[in-house]
Amino acid sequence: MKVSIIIGFYNKIELLSKIIEALRLQTMTDFEVVIADDGSKPEVVEAIQQLQATSPFPIVHVWHEDKGWRKNMILNKAVVAAHGEYLIFIDGDCIPEPHFVEEHYAQRQEGMVLSGRRILMGPRGTAYMMDQPLTKKRFGCGLFWALLRDTMHGSKTRMEHMLHMRCEWLRRLFVRDKERFILGCNFSLYKKDLLSVNGFDERFLYPGYGEDIDLWYRLGRAGIKTYSRKGLMIQYHCYHKRFDTNYAPNQQLMQENNDKKVTWTPYGIEQ
């Protein structure tokens, strides 16, 4: 098994089903899916079992009891369960474009993290993706116009990230890849590189700022830098109401790790 796609997930089975649908369209097929389930309800677990029974690729379901937001803990458990040498992380509300897995894997490099981008769909774009079965054609003009309507109605879609540039010589001519931060819903790295810093810090108990940026800082101190790949590794983020991401406990923990120059967290996979 070359690749494990780890999906952070909680209860939204309709979105997860759509992600699995999109993964069926991938141009690279040598992968497994590991669902990092932060305590979904029994009926959702049953629905996941049905997805497992009908999937053309392996689906591993890693679950723990719902005791509040413990995403970093379940992600660490999913990393341990993953069979792939290369890990791609996405969230349970992000739909990957058909070349997504292939492009992450083709751009891989030991000692480096790849950080992709996301298009923020508004209500129209999300409805377009959810209302009908996905095909490769549905990632084309129809989606473009749905997102354009979202943009015209005030949604910050970031449509510029839709620009797909798969030709390598064109990328070298027009694109300058830069070092940047980890985007928790779209990044990849070798499993051994993640294990070298002991995975995610499980003390982060709130979503948003810090729970993934802390990993970026620690990997960077270990000499594992993060780079973007503009025009590649595209995904579409389904619309939902925004929530506050600036939790003081997260910021305090991240500052503590930075002040102590922590690389290998004692609160990760190995404790």
Whole-model pTM: value is 0.95
Q: Residue 271 domain-assigned?
A: no
Expressed as residue numbers, the domain containing 203 is 3-259
Return phi, psi of residue 49, to 5°.
Answer: -60, -35
Q: Residue 142 domain-assigned?
A: yes
Looking at residue 247, its pLDDT comes to 84
What is the residue-averaged pLDDT of the chain? 93
Q: Residue 270 domain-assigned?
A: no
Looking at residue 243, its pLDDT comes to 65
Mean pLDDT, residues 170-185: 82
Indicate which CATH number applies to the domain containing 76.
3.90.550.10
Q: Residue 269 domain-assigned?
A: no
Percent of the chain past pLDDT 70, that is, above it, reads: 99
pLDDT at 195 over 70: yes
Q: Residue 264 domain-assigned?
A: no
Q: Residue 266 domain-assigned?
A: no
The residue among 164 and 92 whose pLDDT is bigger is 92
Q: Residue 167 domain-assigned?
A: yes
Instruction: Name the band, by pLDDT with cuts 50, 70 and 90, for residue 30.
Output: very high
The number of folded domains in the chain is: 1
Q: Residue 210 domain-assigned?
A: yes
